[in-house]
Amino acid sequence: MHQKEFLARLDQYKLIASIKEAKHLEKAAEADLSAVVLSVGNIGVIKGYVDFFKSRHIPVFLHLERIGGISHDREGIAFLSHYVKPDGVVTTRNTLIKLAKKQGLLTIQRHFLVDSDAHKSGLQSIVETQPDAVELMPGLLPEFIEEYRSALDTPIIAGGLIRKREQMEEVLQHGATAVSVGSPLLWKECLAHDSISTV
């Protein structure tokens, strides 16, 4: 999938399923999603999981730090790109974003807003690595979403600690392009482009 297609899909569906258990694969496949992020699996099963979603035309990303047996170096990322063939990766690490981009993978850089130093270094890091999207965690910090949105020309995904539709709508109204949630109940929510008004 090309960047332009992914960004259009983010804008259309607004919802990313973060899958942490294999038993939830089928439920995610039934939802209207921008993409899925696999935070489950290992080198032995991950290609099957990726193929499952690609056969249903759902973009699939791998959370690199959560997939067992994949080395976090040039060869490991090349293996993922050429054999497993996800659409992209999610990671907190600058070096992995750069390696993934060289392999033609889409990239989502995850950033934790733990304090003001992390906030400042996070912005610098994103400017340096130029990921296709940024995931801010925890997602329930609307003022930071607005700040990142105004400082960066990069789609913002809000993730972490979001448990209700009202919270999903709030972060979208404050400038998030999409929301990433791990609850299969929330994957059923329709967050269509036309139903969300921004501030």
Q: What is the pLDDT of residues 15-24, one digit of tens each?
A: 999 999 999 9
Number of domains in the chain: 1
The answer to whether residue 52 is domain-embedded is: yes
Q: Rounded to two decimals, what is the model's pTM?
A: 0.94
User: The CATH number of the domain where 64 resides is what?
Assistant: 3.20.20.70
* Nearest-angstrom CA–CA distance, 76 and 89: 12
**Is 189 a domain residue?**
yes
Domain assignment present for 199: no
What pLDDT shows up at residue 38?
98
**The amino acid at 185:** L
pLDDT of residue 190: 73
pLDDT at res. 116: 87
> What pLDDT score does 192 carry?
56
| Residue 14 counted as domain residue | yes
Q: What is the pLDDT of residue 197?
A: 46
Please check whether residue 164 lies inside any domain of the structure: yes
Q: List, in sequence order, the alpha helices (H) in 91-182.
A: 94-102, 116-129, 142-151, 165-173
Count the Cβ atoms, other than its own, within 10 Å of residue 173: 14
Length of the chain (residues): 199
Contact 141, 100 (CB under 8 A): no
Q: Which pLDDT score, from 0 to 100, does residue 194 have?
A: 45
Q: Does 83 reside within a domain?
A: yes
Domain membership of residue 32 as a residue range: 3-193
State the Rg of the chain over Cα: 16
In this prediction, the residues of the chain whose per-residue pLDDT falls under 50 are 194-195, 197-199
Contact residues for 93 (Cβ-Cβ < 8 A; gap 6+): 64, 65, 72
What is the DSSP code string of 61-76? EEEGGGSBT--SSHHH
Residue 198, in any domain of the structure: no
Tell whether 110 is covered by a domain: yes
